[in-house]
Amino acid sequence: ISKIAVLTSGGDAPGMNAAIRAVVRSCSYYSVSCVGVYRGYQGLIEGDFEDLDARSVRNIINKGGTFLKSTRSMEFKTKEGRAKAYEKLKEKGVDALIVIGGDGTFTGGLYLSQEFDIPIIGIPATIDNDINGTDFTLGYDTALNTVVEAIDKIRDTASSHNRLFLIEVMGRDAGDIALNSGIGAGAEEILIPEEETGADRLIDSLKRSKKSGKTSSIIVVAEGEKSGKNIFELAEFIEENLDDYEIRVSVLGHIQRGGSPSCADRVLASKLGVGAVEGLLDGKRGAMVGIHHQKVVFVPLEEAIKGEAKIDKELRRVADITSV
Ligand code: F6P
Protein backbone atom coordinates (compact mmCIF):
# COMPACT_ATOMS: atom_id res chain seq x y z
CA ILE A 1 0.00 0.00 0.00
CA SER A 2 1.51 3.30 -1.05
CA LYS A 3 -1.40 5.75 -0.95
CA ILE A 4 -4.18 5.92 1.64
CA ALA A 5 -7.25 8.18 1.44
CA VAL A 6 -9.16 9.34 4.52
CA LEU A 7 -12.66 10.79 4.87
CA THR A 8 -15.22 11.71 7.54
CA SER A 9 -18.89 10.98 6.94
CA GLY A 10 -22.31 11.15 8.66
CA GLY A 11 -22.93 13.17 11.80
CA ASP A 12 -19.70 14.80 12.96
CA ALA A 13 -18.20 14.03 16.36
CA PRO A 14 -15.56 15.76 18.50
CA GLY A 15 -12.26 13.98 17.93
CA MET A 16 -12.68 13.50 14.17
CA ASN A 17 -9.93 16.08 13.52
CA ALA A 18 -7.63 14.34 16.00
CA ALA A 19 -8.28 11.03 14.18
CA ILE A 20 -7.51 12.55 10.75
CA ARG A 21 -4.29 13.98 12.22
CA ALA A 22 -3.28 10.57 13.57
CA VAL A 23 -3.97 8.92 10.20
CA VAL A 24 -1.99 11.55 8.27
CA ARG A 25 0.95 11.47 10.69
CA SER A 26 1.01 7.64 10.71
CA CYS A 27 1.12 7.67 6.91
CA SER A 28 4.02 10.09 7.07
CA TYR A 29 5.77 7.91 9.71
CA TYR A 30 5.47 4.82 7.48
CA SER A 31 6.32 6.78 4.26
CA VAL A 32 2.88 6.25 2.71
CA SER A 33 1.17 9.09 0.78
CA CYS A 34 -2.07 10.39 2.25
CA VAL A 35 -5.05 11.97 0.48
CA GLY A 36 -7.82 13.84 2.29
CA VAL A 37 -11.32 13.50 0.83
CA TYR A 38 -13.60 16.49 1.44
CA ARG A 39 -17.35 16.12 2.19
CA GLY A 40 -17.38 12.38 2.91
CA TYR A 41 -18.68 9.93 0.31
CA GLN A 42 -20.16 12.75 -1.79
CA GLY A 43 -16.68 14.27 -2.14
CA LEU A 44 -15.35 10.82 -3.00
CA ILE A 45 -17.84 10.55 -5.87
CA GLU A 46 -16.84 14.02 -7.09
CA GLY A 47 -13.08 13.52 -6.61
CA ASP A 48 -12.82 16.36 -4.07
CA PHE A 49 -9.30 15.43 -2.93
CA GLU A 50 -6.29 17.13 -1.38
CA ASP A 51 -2.87 15.65 -0.72
CA LEU A 52 -2.04 15.87 2.99
CA ASP A 53 1.30 15.73 4.76
CA ALA A 54 2.30 15.80 8.42
CA ARG A 55 2.20 19.62 8.50
CA SER A 56 -1.28 19.84 6.88
CA VAL A 57 -2.78 18.65 10.16
CA ARG A 58 -1.01 20.99 12.55
CA ASN A 59 -3.09 22.66 15.29
CA ILE A 60 -6.22 20.57 14.78
CA ILE A 61 -6.01 18.01 17.60
CA ASN A 62 -8.01 20.37 19.84
CA LYS A 63 -10.64 21.42 17.29
CA GLY A 64 -14.24 20.15 17.22
CA GLY A 65 -15.97 19.25 13.94
CA THR A 66 -14.01 17.94 10.97
CA PHE A 67 -11.89 20.09 8.68
CA LEU A 68 -12.53 17.58 5.89
CA LYS A 69 -16.30 18.34 6.29
CA SER A 70 -18.99 15.69 6.38
CA THR A 71 -22.15 14.76 4.47
CA ARG A 72 -24.79 12.05 4.41
CA SER A 73 -24.58 11.17 0.68
CA MET A 74 -27.72 9.74 -0.95
CA GLU A 75 -25.82 9.09 -4.21
CA PHE A 76 -23.32 6.81 -2.46
CA LYS A 77 -26.25 4.61 -1.36
CA THR A 78 -26.61 3.60 -5.03
CA LYS A 79 -24.35 1.11 -6.79
CA GLU A 80 -23.70 3.68 -9.55
CA GLY A 81 -22.58 6.23 -6.98
CA ARG A 82 -20.16 3.77 -5.42
CA ALA A 83 -18.80 2.82 -8.86
CA LYS A 84 -18.06 6.50 -9.57
CA ALA A 85 -16.32 6.80 -6.19
CA TYR A 86 -14.16 3.76 -6.91
CA GLU A 87 -13.17 5.21 -10.31
CA LYS A 88 -12.08 8.46 -8.63
CA LEU A 89 -9.96 6.51 -6.14
CA LYS A 90 -8.29 4.59 -8.98
CA GLU A 91 -7.65 7.79 -10.99
CA LYS A 92 -5.95 9.31 -7.94
CA GLY A 93 -3.85 6.16 -7.44
CA VAL A 94 -5.33 5.47 -4.00
CA ASP A 95 -5.04 1.86 -2.90
CA ALA A 96 -6.72 1.88 0.53
CA LEU A 97 -9.36 3.95 2.32
CA ILE A 98 -9.98 4.93 5.94
CA VAL A 99 -13.55 6.03 6.74
CA ILE A 100 -14.29 7.86 9.98
CA GLY A 101 -17.93 7.83 11.13
CA GLY A 102 -20.79 5.75 12.51
CA ASP A 103 -23.02 2.94 11.28
CA GLY A 104 -24.12 4.68 8.04
CA THR A 105 -20.47 5.35 7.17
CA PHE A 106 -19.52 1.74 7.90
CA THR A 107 -22.44 0.40 5.85
CA GLY A 108 -21.24 2.47 2.87
CA GLY A 109 -17.66 1.27 3.43
CA LEU A 110 -18.81 -2.34 3.66
CA TYR A 111 -20.64 -2.16 0.29
CA LEU A 112 -17.67 -0.47 -1.39
CA SER A 113 -15.26 -3.10 -0.07
CA GLN A 114 -17.55 -5.95 -1.17
CA GLU A 115 -18.18 -4.57 -4.67
CA PHE A 116 -14.66 -3.40 -5.49
CA ASP A 117 -11.14 -4.48 -4.72
CA ILE A 118 -10.24 -1.86 -2.14
CA PRO A 119 -9.05 -2.39 1.44
CA ILE A 120 -11.12 -0.30 3.87
CA ILE A 121 -10.78 0.32 7.59
CA GLY A 122 -13.42 2.18 9.60
CA ILE A 123 -12.73 4.37 12.65
CA PRO A 124 -15.82 4.54 14.93
CA ALA A 125 -16.79 8.17 15.49
CA THR A 126 -20.26 9.10 16.70
CA ILE A 127 -21.46 10.75 19.88
CA ASP A 128 -24.12 8.00 20.16
CA ASN A 129 -21.62 5.24 21.10
CA ASP A 130 -23.80 2.77 19.17
CA ILE A 131 -21.17 0.68 17.37
CA ASN A 132 -20.51 -2.96 18.24
CA GLY A 133 -17.06 -4.30 18.98
CA THR A 134 -15.53 -1.18 20.49
CA ASP A 135 -15.91 -0.05 24.09
CA PHE A 136 -16.21 3.59 23.04
CA THR A 137 -16.72 5.63 19.90
CA LEU A 138 -15.00 8.94 19.24
CA GLY A 139 -16.90 11.97 20.46
CA TYR A 140 -18.96 10.14 23.05
CA ASP A 141 -16.88 11.21 26.05
CA THR A 142 -16.86 14.85 24.95
CA ALA A 143 -20.63 14.82 24.32
CA LEU A 144 -21.23 13.35 27.80
CA ASN A 145 -19.19 16.13 29.38
CA THR A 146 -21.09 18.75 27.37
CA VAL A 147 -24.43 17.29 28.44
CA VAL A 148 -23.50 17.02 32.12
CA GLU A 149 -22.27 20.62 32.13
CA ALA A 150 -25.53 21.79 30.54
CA ILE A 151 -27.69 19.80 32.98
CA ASP A 152 -25.72 21.15 35.95
CA LYS A 153 -26.64 24.66 34.80
CA ILE A 154 -30.28 23.73 34.30
CA ARG A 155 -30.33 22.18 37.78
CA ASP A 156 -29.41 25.55 39.31
CA THR A 157 -32.45 27.25 37.84
CA ALA A 158 -34.71 24.20 38.33
CA SER A 159 -33.91 24.21 42.02
CA SER A 160 -34.35 28.01 42.42
CA HIS A 161 -37.87 27.79 41.00
CA ASN A 162 -38.87 24.32 42.31
CA ARG A 163 -39.44 23.24 38.72
CA LEU A 164 -39.44 19.97 36.87
CA PHE A 165 -37.25 19.95 33.74
CA LEU A 166 -37.46 17.52 30.85
CA ILE A 167 -34.12 17.61 29.05
CA GLU A 168 -33.80 16.01 25.63
CA VAL A 169 -30.43 14.60 24.65
CA MET A 170 -29.34 12.99 21.35
CA GLY A 171 -29.61 9.29 20.63
CA ARG A 172 -32.16 8.16 18.04
CA ASP A 173 -31.62 4.48 18.73
CA ALA A 174 -29.14 4.45 21.59
CA GLY A 175 -29.57 5.51 25.21
CA ASP A 176 -25.90 5.63 26.19
CA ILE A 177 -25.75 9.43 26.31
CA ALA A 178 -29.01 9.67 28.28
CA LEU A 179 -28.20 6.93 30.78
CA ASN A 180 -24.63 7.99 31.52
CA SER A 181 -25.25 11.74 31.58
CA GLY A 182 -28.39 11.12 33.64
CA ILE A 183 -26.41 9.27 36.29
CA GLY A 184 -23.57 11.80 36.11
CA ALA A 185 -25.91 14.76 36.51
CA GLY A 186 -28.12 13.10 39.14
CA ALA A 187 -31.35 12.87 37.12
CA GLU A 188 -34.54 11.55 38.77
CA GLU A 189 -35.61 9.60 35.70
CA ILE A 190 -33.91 8.60 32.47
CA LEU A 191 -35.89 7.55 29.39
CA ILE A 192 -34.01 5.60 26.72
CA PRO A 193 -34.93 3.95 23.39
CA GLU A 194 -33.88 0.46 24.56
CA GLU A 195 -36.58 0.30 27.25
CA GLU A 196 -40.31 0.90 27.12
CA THR A 197 -40.52 2.83 30.36
CA GLY A 198 -44.05 4.09 29.74
CA ALA A 199 -45.37 7.53 30.67
CA ASP A 200 -47.44 6.10 33.57
CA ARG A 201 -44.39 4.71 35.32
CA LEU A 202 -42.90 8.16 35.03
CA ILE A 203 -45.88 9.72 36.83
CA ASP A 204 -45.66 7.13 39.64
CA SER A 205 -41.98 7.77 40.06
CA LEU A 206 -42.44 11.56 40.14
CA LYS A 207 -45.18 11.20 42.76
CA ARG A 208 -42.81 9.10 44.85
CA SER A 209 -39.99 11.62 44.59
CA LYS A 210 -42.32 14.47 45.55
CA LYS A 211 -43.40 12.47 48.62
CA SER A 212 -39.80 11.80 49.55
CA GLY A 213 -39.19 15.55 49.81
CA LYS A 214 -37.80 16.51 46.42
CA THR A 215 -38.67 20.04 45.37
CA SER A 216 -37.28 20.04 41.85
CA SER A 217 -36.56 17.31 39.34
CA ILE A 218 -34.52 16.57 36.25
CA ILE A 219 -35.68 13.98 33.73
CA VAL A 220 -33.29 13.09 30.93
CA VAL A 221 -35.05 11.96 27.76
CA ALA A 222 -33.19 10.37 24.83
CA GLU A 223 -34.64 11.68 21.56
CA GLY A 224 -35.55 8.13 20.44
CA GLU A 225 -37.27 7.01 23.67
CA LYS A 226 -40.34 4.85 23.19
CA SER A 227 -43.23 6.40 25.13
CA GLY A 228 -44.82 7.31 21.80
CA LYS A 229 -44.87 10.98 22.82
CA ASN A 230 -42.41 13.68 21.88
CA ILE A 231 -40.86 15.64 24.73
CA PHE A 232 -43.45 18.45 24.56
CA GLU A 233 -46.33 15.95 24.61
CA LEU A 234 -44.65 14.20 27.50
CA ALA A 235 -44.49 17.51 29.38
CA GLU A 236 -48.23 18.08 28.75
CA PHE A 237 -49.01 14.56 29.92
CA ILE A 238 -47.11 15.13 33.18
CA GLU A 239 -48.81 18.51 33.63
CA GLU A 240 -52.24 16.86 33.27
CA ASN A 241 -51.40 14.12 35.75
CA LEU A 242 -49.37 15.96 38.38
CA ASP A 243 -50.24 19.25 40.02
CA ASP A 244 -47.09 19.50 42.05
CA TYR A 245 -44.62 20.90 39.56
CA GLU A 246 -44.22 23.72 37.12
CA ILE A 247 -42.65 22.10 34.04
CA ARG A 248 -40.12 23.33 31.50
CA VAL A 249 -38.59 21.57 28.48
CA SER A 250 -35.03 22.00 27.28
CA VAL A 251 -33.77 20.39 24.05
CA LEU A 252 -29.98 20.37 24.05
CA GLY A 253 -29.67 19.58 20.31
CA HIS A 254 -26.50 20.06 18.29
CA ILE A 255 -24.56 21.69 21.11
CA GLN A 256 -23.80 18.03 21.93
CA ARG A 257 -21.94 17.49 18.66
CA GLY A 258 -19.58 20.45 18.93
CA GLY A 259 -16.74 21.66 21.08
CA SER A 260 -13.14 20.86 21.74
CA PRO A 261 -12.64 17.09 22.21
CA SER A 262 -11.90 15.84 25.74
CA CYS A 263 -8.46 14.42 26.45
CA ALA A 264 -9.96 10.90 26.47
CA ASP A 265 -11.32 11.46 22.95
CA ARG A 266 -8.02 12.88 21.70
CA VAL A 267 -6.11 9.87 23.01
CA LEU A 268 -8.70 7.46 21.61
CA ALA A 269 -8.55 9.25 18.22
CA SER A 270 -4.77 9.00 18.19
CA LYS A 271 -4.78 5.28 19.03
CA LEU A 272 -7.46 4.49 16.44
CA GLY A 273 -5.80 6.59 13.71
CA VAL A 274 -2.45 4.84 14.21
CA GLY A 275 -4.28 1.48 14.46
CA ALA A 276 -6.14 2.07 11.19
CA VAL A 277 -2.98 2.77 9.18
CA GLU A 278 -1.02 -0.06 10.80
CA GLY A 279 -3.99 -2.40 10.21
CA LEU A 280 -4.03 -1.60 6.50
CA LEU A 281 -0.26 -2.06 6.21
CA ASP A 282 -0.70 -5.36 8.01
CA GLY A 283 -3.23 -6.60 5.42
CA LYS A 284 -6.50 -5.93 7.31
CA ARG A 285 -9.52 -4.98 5.16
CA GLY A 286 -13.26 -4.57 5.50
CA ALA A 287 -12.80 -4.05 9.23
CA MET A 288 -13.29 -1.50 11.97
CA VAL A 289 -10.46 -0.61 14.31
CA GLY A 290 -11.80 -0.38 17.85
CA ILE A 291 -10.74 -0.42 21.47
CA HIS A 292 -11.58 -3.25 23.83
CA HIS A 293 -10.15 -3.36 27.35
CA GLN A 294 -7.59 -0.67 26.37
CA LYS A 295 -6.31 -2.75 23.44
CA VAL A 296 -6.66 -2.02 19.74
CA VAL A 297 -8.88 -4.65 18.07
CA PHE A 298 -10.13 -5.27 14.52
CA VAL A 299 -13.75 -6.26 13.98
CA PRO A 300 -15.41 -7.07 10.61
CA LEU A 301 -17.53 -4.10 9.46
CA GLU A 302 -20.63 -6.34 9.32
CA GLU A 303 -20.21 -7.07 13.04
CA ALA A 304 -19.63 -3.42 13.92
CA ILE A 305 -22.95 -2.30 12.41
CA LYS A 306 -25.13 -5.02 13.95
CA GLY A 307 -27.62 -2.87 15.79
CA GLU A 308 -27.80 -4.77 19.06
CA ALA A 309 -29.08 -2.87 22.10
CA LYS A 310 -26.18 -2.95 24.53
CA ILE A 311 -27.49 -1.00 27.48
CA ASP A 312 -25.64 -1.85 30.64
CA LYS A 313 -28.27 -3.21 33.06
CA GLU A 314 -26.01 -2.44 35.99
CA LEU A 315 -26.09 1.25 35.04
CA ARG A 316 -29.90 1.24 35.04
CA ARG A 317 -29.83 -0.34 38.52
CA VAL A 318 -27.39 2.29 39.76
CA ALA A 319 -29.57 5.05 38.29
CA ASP A 320 -32.67 3.68 40.07
CA ILE A 321 -30.91 3.33 43.42
CA THR A 322 -29.19 6.72 43.39
CA SER A 323 -32.34 8.62 42.44
CA VAL A 324 -34.52 7.51 45.38
O1 F6P B 1 -25.82 9.98 14.94
C2 F6P B 1 -25.44 11.12 15.59
C3 F6P B 1 -26.61 12.05 15.79
O4 F6P B 1 -26.12 13.19 16.45
C5 F6P B 1 -27.83 11.47 16.50
O6 F6P B 1 -27.70 11.39 17.88
C7 F6P B 1 -28.92 12.41 16.04
O8 F6P B 1 -30.16 11.78 16.10
C9 F6P B 1 -28.53 12.72 14.62
O10 F6P B 1 -27.13 12.50 14.54
C11 F6P B 1 -28.87 14.10 14.16
O12 F6P B 1 -28.53 14.21 12.81
P13 F6P B 1 -28.49 15.57 11.99
O14 F6P B 1 -27.29 16.35 12.44
O15 F6P B 1 -28.39 15.15 10.58
O16 F6P B 1 -29.76 16.30 12.32
Q: Is the CB of 13 under 6 A from ligand 1?
A: no
Q: Sign of dihedral through CA atoms 135, 139, 145, 149?
A: negative
Give, to the nearest 10 degrees, the angle between helix 103-115 and helix 79-91: 70
**DSSP-derived 3-state class of residue 116:** coil
82-126 residue pLDDT tens = 999 999 999 999 999 999 999 999 999 999 999 999 999 999 999
Q: Is the CB of 168 under 6 A from ligand 1?
A: no
Cα separations in angstroms, 269 against 146, 192, 237: 18, 27, 42
Name the average pLDDT for the chain. 96
* ipTM of this predicted structure: 0.96
What is the percent of the chain with per-residue pLDDT over 90, rounded to a whole number? 89
Instruction: Round to whole Å and give the CA distance between 324 and 319.
Output: 9
The rounded Å distance from CA 214 to ligand 1 centre is 34
Of 51, 96, 41, 113, nearest in space to 276 by CA = 96
Instruction: Round to whole Å and give the CA distance between 87 and 114.
Output: 15
137-157 residue pLDDT tens = 999 999 999 999 999 999 999
**156 catalytic per annotation:** no
User: Does 161 carry a binding-site annotation?
Assistant: no
Q: Is the pLDDT reported for residue 309 higher than 80?
A: no
Catalytic residue among 12, 51, 117, 128: 128
The rounded Å distance from CA 128 to ligand 1 centre is 8
Q: Is the CB of 126 under 6 A from ligand 1?
A: yes
pLDDT (average), residues 52-69? 98
pLDDT at residue 151, rounded to an integer: 98
Task: Name the more confident of 263 and 204.
Answer: 263
221-267 residue pLDDT tens = 999 998 889 999 999 999 999 887 899 999 999 999 999 999 999 99
Cα separations in angstroms, 164 against 158, 187, 230, 249: 7, 11, 17, 9
Instruction: Round to whole Å and give the CA distance between 46 and 178.
Output: 38
User: Does 73 carry a binding-site annotation?
Assistant: yes
Instruction: Round to whole Å and give the CA distance between 137 and 168.
Output: 21
The rounded Å distance from CA 174 to ligand 1 centre is 11
